[in-house]
């Protein structure tokens, strides 16, 4: 199949390899993707596009580039001989779900009773290791275990794709080819340094690897030898997995001794359009109260309302932002935070979710974005993703309509926008 791919593909020549600094949240769905600070090797005068007849021709050019970057011939042979183009990877890369999944449905699965109980069992089984990493990096043991649970269901499902085949396929034919090429080169460096054998480098279709789903550049930057054997093995060594995960969060700005945040009650007349971070004292002066107990003392915190004014609200600080560095999605960070709380025996979310709200499809979101743009609320391109620009435009529309400006998209709001152009 590989050798018979006859349709030429367009990509930049490897001798002017474009390596970019990237923080990805969409490349692999909910897998952990970190800041990949990749040094540019671009020769701008040579950055014209060239065609490759097939995958094998592209792979041969990449192999020469990797050799020029210092990858040993032994590693190139072990890693790239027999690497196949995987059509399934491109299918998954191109997949766009019809519905935008509500956060409560995501949390129902991510923080299920089974996952909570398994997390407690895993923490008990590896308590000494988890507490050692907690002491070393300042990240609570239950948060380390929670990320493990969210990322791979405690190692039961971290993927069986060859990382090399996935990244090579994406670099040749994916949506983010430069990014994938940089990650493929990083994967070769990892093998060259002896951390893992090529045939054991397994993970998701998108190139995220091991128990807590590091992409190769994140592995290079943050993986840690936790068991002292001289290798960083996030596939087979739980001490290495926990040390690497805790090191990542520590480097992302985890504040030892602080909680991630707390569920709060917002006062009557609260201004939902506020997006600034404020100190706890400032939020308290507005009438914000903890659902239970006292508000944590944050120097800089935000109010998060992931399901709008009818859903629960949270005051979140630096540690919530550190989790977001692992995967920049509010639903992901809230899943890790609340799963960690549950594993540790703390109470879960008290306020109910607006489960009667019918989710918007991607087509609905695109229509919403186009309607907001036509109405003068500029939100950028209609990509079907409820990003910050879309939410801000929606808040402005809600405010002008005399509605609560919470930025939460509903079918009722879409219908109101439709009616303006009928």
By annotation, the residues acting in catalysis are: 151
User: Would you say 133 and 246 are in contact if contact means Cβ atoms under 8 Å apart?
Assistant: yes
Compute CA 21 distance to the chain's CA centroid, rounded to the nearest angstrom: 16
Maximum pairwise Cα distance, the chain:
68
Compute CA 212 distance to the chain's CA centroid, rounded to the nearest angstrom: 11
- CA-to-CA distance for 23 and 326, rounded, in angstroms? 9
Given its phi and psi angles, is residue 49 left (phi above 0), alpha (psi -120 to 50 degrees) or beta?
beta
For 211, residues 6+ apart whose C-beta sits below 8 A from its C-beta are: 148, 151, 152, 154, 155, 158, 234, 235, 238, 241
DSSP 313: E
- CA-to-CA distance for 9 and 320, rounded, in angstroms? 41
What Å distances lie between residue 273 and 42, 151, 316, 403, CA to CA?
A: 42, 32, 16, 11
- CA-to-CA distance for 10 and 391, rounded, in angstroms? 35
- CA-to-CA distance for 9 and 23, rounded, in angstroms? 25
- CA-to-CA distance for 186 and 208, rounded, in angstroms? 12
DSSP 275: -
Give the count of beta carbons closer than 10 Å to the beta carbon of residue 382: 17
Compute CA 278 distance to the chain's CA centroid, rounded to the nearest angstrom: 25
Give the count of beta carbons closer than 10 Å to the beta carbon of residue 101: 11
Token pair listed for 406: 């919470």
């Amino acid at each position: 199949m590989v050798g018979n791919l006859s349709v030429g593909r367009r990509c930049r020549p490897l001798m002017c390899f474009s390596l970019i600094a990237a923080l990805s949240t969409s490349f692999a769905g909910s897998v952990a993707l970190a800041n990949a600070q990749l040094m540019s090797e671009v020769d701008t005068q040579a950055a014209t596009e060239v065609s490759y007849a097939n995958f094998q021709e592209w792979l041969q050019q990449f192999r020469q580039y990797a050799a020029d970057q210092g990858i040993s011939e032994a590693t190139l042979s072990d890693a790239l001989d027999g690497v196949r183009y995987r059509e399934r990877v491109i299918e998954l890369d191109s997949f766009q779900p019809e519905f935008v999944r509500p956060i409560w449905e995501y949390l129902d699965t991510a923080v299920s009773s089974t996952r909570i109980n398994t997390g407690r069992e895993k923490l008990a089984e590896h308590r000494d290791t988890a507490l050692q990493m907690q002491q070393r990096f300042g990240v609570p043991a239950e948060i380390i275990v929670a990320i493990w649970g969210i990322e791979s269901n405690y190692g039961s499902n971290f993927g069986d794709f060859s990382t090399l085949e996935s990244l090579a396929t994406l670099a040749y034919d994916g949506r983010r080819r430069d990014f994938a090429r940089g990650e493929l080169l990083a994967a070769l460096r990892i093998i060259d340094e002896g951390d893992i054998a090529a045939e054991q480098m397994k993970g998701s279709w998108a190139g995220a690897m091991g128990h807590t789903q590091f992409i190769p550049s994140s592995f290079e930057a943050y993986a840690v030898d936790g068991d002292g054997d001289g290798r960083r093995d996030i596939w087979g060594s739980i001490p290495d997995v926990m040390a690497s995960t805790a090191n990542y969060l520590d480097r992302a700005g985890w504040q030892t001794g602080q909680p991630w945040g707390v569920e709060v009650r917002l006062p009557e007349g609260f201004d939902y359009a506020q997006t600034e971070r404020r100190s706890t004292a400032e939020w308290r002066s507005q009438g914000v109260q903890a659902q239970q107990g006292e508000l944590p003392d944050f120097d800089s915190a935000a109010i998060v309302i992931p399901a709008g004014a009818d859903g629960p609200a949270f005051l979140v600080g630096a540690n919530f932002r550190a989790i977001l560095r692992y995967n920049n999605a509010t639903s992901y960070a809230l899943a890790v935070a609340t799963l960690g709380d549950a594993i540790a025996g703390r109470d879960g979310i008290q306020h109910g979710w607006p489960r009667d709200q019918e989710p918007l499809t991607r087509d609905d979101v695109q229509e919403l974005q186009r309607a907001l743009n036509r109405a003068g609320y500029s939100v950028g391109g209609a990509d079907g993703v409820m990003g910050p620009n879309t939410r801000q435009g929606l808040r402005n529309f809600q405010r002008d309509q005399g509605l609560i400006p919470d930025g939460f998209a509903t079918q009722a709001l879409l219908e109101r926008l439709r009616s303006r152009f009928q």
